[in-house]
Structure 1
Amino acid sequence: MQLYVLGCSGGIGGAARTTSLLLGERILIDAGTGAGELSLDALCKIDHVFLTHSHFDHIACLPMLLDTVIGARSRPVTVHALPETIAALQAHVFNWQIWPDFSVIPENGNGVLRWAPLAVGESRDLDGLRITALPAQHTVPAVGYLFESPTGALAFSGDSADCPAFWETVAGVDRLRGLIVETAFSEREAGLARVSKHYSPSTLLAALQRFDATIDVWLTHLKPLDAARIVAETSNGIHRISALVGGQTLQF
């Protein structure tokens, strides 16, 4: 299985795109502005979207994706997410004021959007891949995800402050090939990271002390103005840490 990085930035500007990852051809993980990198044909192939949480940088392109593909689909796009995330999107986005309710159009009972509530620890099996919702700690209800193929696994933190339950879960995963973990702020904004429940380099490195140093760690969600600083501050000479980049492909 391969994961293709459509967007992995904590902001926009130039080539920066916010979080969206493509698994195979049919599955999106989050639908930030990176999803806009997909061609029309590729957008029409998306059958499943797994959301980590309801913040705009992770859902920005979901309304436009649905609007774009509605005339090309005979079955709905299934959006998997926590019940709280679904409720937030129903109340504040798909409410006929910000955007139409695509769960009832083109007609009620045959909408192009289907909601699929997902609980922490619950798995979905799709295309020979198992996707499991992992614990996270953020300012809104949130999850990370574990992706398992027959040959390996990748873990993704989503947006989260340090979450011991996340690390305990991924430490027990067989054939773990790598970890994608957000580190939104540099140390000069460590206070903002704490308030907004994100990692900064010091909290990430402290968490990684519990983790196998032979596993590759990719940083995501870096704020564009501080990206180089964050990479420098997370280099500890022990763990294999590098920044995720748009257009990158990870095999597992």
Structure 2
Amino acid sequence: MIIRVLGCSGAIAAGCRTTSFLLDGSVLIDAGTGVGDLSLDELARIDHVLLSHSHLDHVLAIGLLADSVLRLRAARQQGPIIVHGLPETLQALRDHIFNGVIWPDFTRLPSAEAPVLALKPLAVGDTLVLDDHRIEVLSAAHTVPAVGYAVDGGAAGWWVYTGDTGPNPALWQRLADMKVAHLVIETAFSDEERQLARISRHLCPAALDHELAQLRGSVDVHITHIKPGEMDAVMTEISQFGTPHRIHALAAGQVMTLR
């Protein structure tokens, strides 16, 4: 199992791409600006998109992806790309993106009978099997309905992505029963902006330290969603943790392999 980090920044700037991960070439987990670095052929091989929530930095590439691959997938007689998300997330796409004003409705193009996109709801606790991958939907605690995902890597353990979240006891209760190999967890702001982190239901280092204290064992922890310009401050504060976990900043282009 190979997971490519296409983007992991909390906003855009030179060299910063927003959240997206590519699982074995066919499953996209979130659809931020990092998707744009894929070739057309790589884009056309994506069969599933798993969305954590409806915020723009996580969904903005979906419409552009559909537009880019529509003709190629039709020529290859591929079915629609299935977009999985909470009902509220999918409704937000219908209302605010695929509405004919912001973007065409690619759930009805090139035809209602054979669209390039299909929307499929999920719920926390669901287990999906996508292209032979077993993926569990995890809870998240954000300003809009949100989820995280855990991908089963077999004997190697689980790859876990929290999505955007503030403090979330339910997540740690579930992870207590999992062998976690990699944890991708957000820390959007430094402690100097802890009030903003609290209001926006993100983590800062102080909150992250409290959250990770609930994670058993010694885990490879990858920090994602840091805002541009905040990297040094966030990682300096994190480096002061007394923790058994191995904590690193995630980087676009990074590859994680579970065997």
User: Aligned to 2:160, which of 150, 155, 163?
Assistant: 155
What is the correspondence of 1:1-252 to structure 2 with a 5 Å cutoff? Answer: 1-73=1-73, 74=77, 75-151=79-155, 152-174=157-179, 176-235=180-239, 236-238=241-243, 239-252=245-258
> Post-superposition shift, 1:213?
4.4
What is the percent sequence identity of the aligned residues? 47
d(CA) in 2 for partners of 1:131, 1:82: 15
Unpaired runs of 5+ in structure 1? none
Structure 1 stretches of 4+ moved >2 Å: 149-152
Q: Is the 8 A contact 1:128 1:149 kept in 2?
A: no
TM-score, normalised to structure 1's length?
Answer: 0.97
> Post-superposition shift, 1:237?
3.7
The residue identity in structure 2 corresponding to 1:35 is: V
TM-score, normalised to structure 2's length?
Answer: 0.95
d(CA) in 1 for partners of 2:213, 2:28: 31
> Post-superposition shift, 1:19?
0.1
The residue identity in structure 2 corresponding to 1:210 is: Q
SS of structure 1 residue aligned to 2:154:
coil
d(CA) in 1 for partners of 2:182, 2:33: 24
d(CA) in 2 for partners of 1:173, 1:27: 22
> Post-superposition shift, 1:240?
1.1
d(CA) in 1 for partners of 2:68, 2:187: 32
Unpaired runs of 5+ in structure 2? none
Q: Greater shift after overlay, 227-236 or 191-200?
A: 227-236
Q: Greater shift after overlay, 187-196 or 149-158?
A: 149-158
d(CA) in 1 for partners of 2:252, 2:101: 32
SS of structure 2 residue aligned to 1:172:
coil
d(CA) in 1 for partners of 2:2, 2:172: 23
d(CA) in 2 for partners of 1:249, 1:47: 20
Over residues 38-71 of structure 1, what are the superposed CA-to-partner deviations in whole Å (9 max), with x where a residue is unaligned? 1111001000000000000001111100000001
Q: Greater shift after overlay, 77-86 or 230-239?
A: 230-239
Q: Aligned residues, how many? A: 251
Give the alignment's Cα RMSD to 1 decimal: 0.9
